[in-house]
């Protein structure tokens, strides 16, 4: 890979099928309080940290943000401890990048404990850097996580490809100056069609190192 310096992966909904689990956790918290999670709020919490989601929802759910964050984070971690399923094509792509010695990072808005937990399940793949929501002052949709990951790998953001599934994550990677491969899971990403530096794909099964390399050419 002459041009590609690193691949920076989002976690939830991108490498592992957890975005639906997260939305179910938030939906359950709302139902316990006699409220429904409408489409707009579902979109708002997709790809965001536990703390940001709690801030967005605490008034609607009439629950202090700190209390709500603790509840959501605990429920999410408990659900992931039962089973984590990789997204189609994820393990194959990670193996291909490892074979070509392309550095990789896991860049998530989930708590670092959850990131460590999930990273250990991905067929033994060893990421060169891991970032959770606590590891930067600001998390997605701000650019900080992707900028920090590029620095950690000694790479230029413009020569990194960020692989993302949510509008929040794509916005973060674009703001950091990365090239972005957008692979939707629970939320459509058609609003990013035609955005400079963003390429849409239907599934990771369509992706290989050569395609990622071409995005930074």
Q: What is the CA radius of gyration of the chain?
A: 17
Which letter does DSSP use for residue 200 in this model?
E
17 tagged catalytic: no
8 Å CB contact between 216 and 210: no
Classify strands 179-182 and 104-107 as parallel, antiparallel or unpaired.
unpaired
The 8-class DSSP code of residue 205 comes to: G
Residue 10 appears among annotated catalytic residues: yes
Residue whose token pair is 């035609």: 194
> Which residue among 10, 52, 75, 135 is the active-site one?
10
Gap between the Cα atoms of 18 and 56, Å rounded: 20
Pairing of strands 179-182, 129-131: unpaired
- Residues marked as catalytic: 10, 12
């Amino acid at each position: 890979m002459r041009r590609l310096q690193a691949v920076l992966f989002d976690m939830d909904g991108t490498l592992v099928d957890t975005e639906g689990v997260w939305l179910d956790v938030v939906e359950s918290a709302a139902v316990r309080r006699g409220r429904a999670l409408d489409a707009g709020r579902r979109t708002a919490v997709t790809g965001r940290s536990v703390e940001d989601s709690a801030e967005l929802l605490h008034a609607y759910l009439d629950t202090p943000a700190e209390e709500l964050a603790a509840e959501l984070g605990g429920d999410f971690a408990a659900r992931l401890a039962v089973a984590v399923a990789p997204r189609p094509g994820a393990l194959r792509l990670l193996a291909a990048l490892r074979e070509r010695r392309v550095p990789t990072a896991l860049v998530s808005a989930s708590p670092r404990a959850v990131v460590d937990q999930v990273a250990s399940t991905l067929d033994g793949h060893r990421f060169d850097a891991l970032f959770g929501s606590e590891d930067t002052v600001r998390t997605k949709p701000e650019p900080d996580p992707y900028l920090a990951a590029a620095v950690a790998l000694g790479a230029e953001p413009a020569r990194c490809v960020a692989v993302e599934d949510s509008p929040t994550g794509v916005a973060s990677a674009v703001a950091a100056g990365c090239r972005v491969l957008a692979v939707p899971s629970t939320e459509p990403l058609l609003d990013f069609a035609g955005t400079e530096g963003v390429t849409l794909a239907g599934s990771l099964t369509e992706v290989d190192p050569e395609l990622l390399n071409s995005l930074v050419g």
